[in-house]
Amino acid sequence: MTNHEIKSLPIGVRVFPAPTDVDGNTRSKKEWRQPAGMLVIHTEGSDDAAQKLLLGSARLIIAGQCVEECLFHSVLAKAALRTVKKYAEHHAAETGAGGFKQLRLLNLREFVKVFYDLAYKARCLVVGSNLPVHLSRLAFDSAPARGFFAGGFSLGLWTYTDRNGRERLDGFRPRICIKYIDNKRAFIGFTARYSPDKEDLIPEGSATGEPQAGYIFPGHFLDLRTLAFALTDEVYSLEGACEAFGVEYEVEPALSRSFITKEYIDATRRTVSASSELARKLLDELAKHPIALPPTQAFSPASLGKAYLRAMGIETTL
Amino acid sequence: MARKRPPRDPSKALRRKVVASRRVGLDASCSCGEKRPGALIPGTKPTTCAACQRAKTGQTPMDDHHPFGRANSSITIPVPVNDHRARLSIDQMDWPRSTLMNAHGSPLLAAAACVRGFIDTVFYLIEESLLWIPDMLELLDDFQVKKLGQQWWVKTELKRFAPKRKPNDKS
C-alpha cells in the first residue's frame, strides 16, 4: 500500500460506570406475574368537544378465556336507552365454555363498582387501546395531580349519594392519576384512599400476606398503543396494530355518534374483542424476550433495551 | 371433563379468589399439601391449614355446615373443615346476598336457598365421591390391556359386566 493518508473516523463510545451505591438501586427484583384476570375496556364518546361517555363495552378474561361481557352507558336519551336494552336482551355474551352467557347491561355507576372490584380489589390487568381516554370517560371528577403525577390529571371515578340526594365524590375510593409523557405513553396509577382494607395493604407478590402500612397499590394499567410502540418502535392506531399483529378487526365506516344503533353497539363490542386478541398477541410477543419486564412498564423500545442490559448483569445509569 | 361449575358472578368470584390468595401469601401451602387459600389460615408461620391446626389443638377436623344457609334452615351436615371453608362456604358466597342472609325470613327466599343449597351439596358430593372414578377406571383398563391383552376380562368374573354385542358388531 502506498497511500498512507490518515483518515479520521468518528467513534461513539457508551460507558456504563459501576454505580457507587449499588444498594441504592430501588428497582424491585421480584418477578412480575400476570394478574389472574384481565379487564379489557373500550368506550365511545359523544360528538361534541367534551367527548363524554355514551356507551362502553368490557370483557373479563381469565386464563385466556372470556368469562363475562358487559355493556355500560351513561345517561342516555330514552330512545337510545331502549335500543341498548333491547340489544342486551337479544344478544348473548361472547364468552367461553365456562363463562356467563348473559350480556350484562350496566349504567356507569354500576360499571365503576365492577371496575373497582376488578381493577383495585382483584388487581386485574386493565387493558385498552389509548387507555387514558377511556379511563377519563369513566370519571366523575378531575383535578390536577400531585406528587409523582404532578403535571397530570387526577380522576375521581367513584361517588355516593348524600342525604340531600346529591352525587358526591367518594373519598374511601382511590383516584386514578394519569400523566402523559408524550402522545403514545402515559403513567397511570391508583392513589391512596381513606381507610384501606387490610388486604389492600398487602404488597403485590407478597410471600407472607402481611399488610404493610402505607402501601399503595398502583394498579396494572396496560395501554396497548404503548406496548405496541415498545415492541415495534412504530406508533400504531388500534386498526394498524391489529393488522401488524395479525388480529382480525373490521373497521366500521364512520358511524354517526348522534344516535345509538345496533351497528354502533356491534362495532363497540368488536373493538373490545379485537383489543383482547391484540393484548394476547402483544403479551405473547413480549414473553418471547428473555427479560423480566412487566408489560405495564414497557414504555418504549429503550425499556426493552434496558431490561436486556439488566438481564446481562450490566448496571445502567440510564 | 369440567371439574367446576362456572360462578354466577365471575367478577365477584375472581375478587374473592384473588383476595383470599393474597391474604395467605404467594404460592402458600400447608405441609399436608393443602393449597386452597380459603383453607389456609392467614398469618400462620409456617402456613397451616384449618384441618392441621385443629389436629394440633386436639379439636375435631369436622365442621357443621348449614347447606341452606343459617338464616334459612337449622339443618347441618358434618363436612371436613377445609372443604367447609374453601369450598362450600365459598359456593354460598355466589348466591344472591338476599337469599343467603334472608333478613326478613321470606319463605320464597328460604325455598330458593334450599334449592341452591341442595344443588351445591350434590355437586360437592359428585366431585368428591364420583368424579375421580371414571379417570381411575380408564387408567385401570389401560393397565389391564398392557398386562393381560385386549380382552383381559374374558375368563374372569367381570365378563358379566361386559357390554352385550352382536357377533359382527365391531363398533
Quick: pLDDT tens for A215-254. 999 999 999 999 999 999 999 999 999 999 999 887 766 6
Query: Which phi and psi (to 5°) does residue A106 adopt?
Result: -125, 150
Whether residue A131 contacts residue A221, with contact meaning beta carbons closer than 8 Å, is answered with: yes
Cα–Cα distance between B22 and A209 in angstroms, integer?
6
Interface check B1 vs A, CB under 8 A? no
Digit-coded pLDDT (tens) for A257-310:
667 888 889 999 999 999 999 999 999 999 999 988 999 999 999 999 989 988
From first to last of its 171 residues, what are the pLDDT tens digits of chain B?
545 667 778 899 999 999 999 999 988 999 999 999 999 999 898 999 999 999 999 999 999 999 999 999 999 999 999 999 999 999 999 999 999 999 999 999 999 999 999 999 999 999 889 999 999 999 999 999 999 999 999 989 998 999 988 766 655
Q: The whole model's pTM is what?
A: 0.85
**Considering just the CA atoms, what is the radius of gyration of chain A in Å?**
23
pLDDT of residue A311: 86
- Interval A31-87: pLDDT, tens: 778 899 999 999 998 877 778 888 999 999 999 899 999 999 998 889 889 999 999
**Chain B CB contacts of A122 below 8 Å:** 11, 14-15, 17-19
Partner residue facing A208 (CB), from B7, B12, B25: B25
DSSP state of A213: T
| Torsion of the alpha carbons at B152, B157, B161 and B163, rounded to the nearest 10 | 50
Peptide bond before residue A294 is cis, with ω within 30 degrees of 0: no
On whether any CB of chain B is under 8 Å from the CB of A260, the answer is no
Residue with cell 498512507: A4
Answer yes or no: are the C-beta atoms of B92 and B66 closer than 8 Å.
Answer: no
pLDDT at residue A121 in the model: 95
- How many contacts does A have with B, using Cβ atoms within 8 A? 70
Residue A231 confidence (pLDDT): 94
Q: If we measure between CA atoms, which residue out of B25, B34, B9 comes closest to residue B87?
A: B34
Report the residue of B3, B14, B26 to disrupt the A interface, i.e. the one with the largest count of A CBs within 10 Å: B14
Q: Does B6 touch chain A (CB under 8 A)?
A: yes
Closest to B53 measured CA to CA, from B79, B27, B26, B31: B31
- Interface contact flag, B18 A122, Cβ < 8 Å: yes
Chain Cα centroid distance, residue B133: 14
Of residues A176 and A21, more confidence is placed in A176
Does residue A29 have a pLDDT over 70? no
Average pLDDT, chain B: 91
Angle at B112 between CA B96 and CA B10, to 5 degrees: 30
Secondary structure (DSSP) of B34-66: ---GGGBPTT-SS--BHHHHHHHHT--SEEEE-
A171 touches chain B (CB under 8 A): no
ipTM attached to this prediction: 0.83
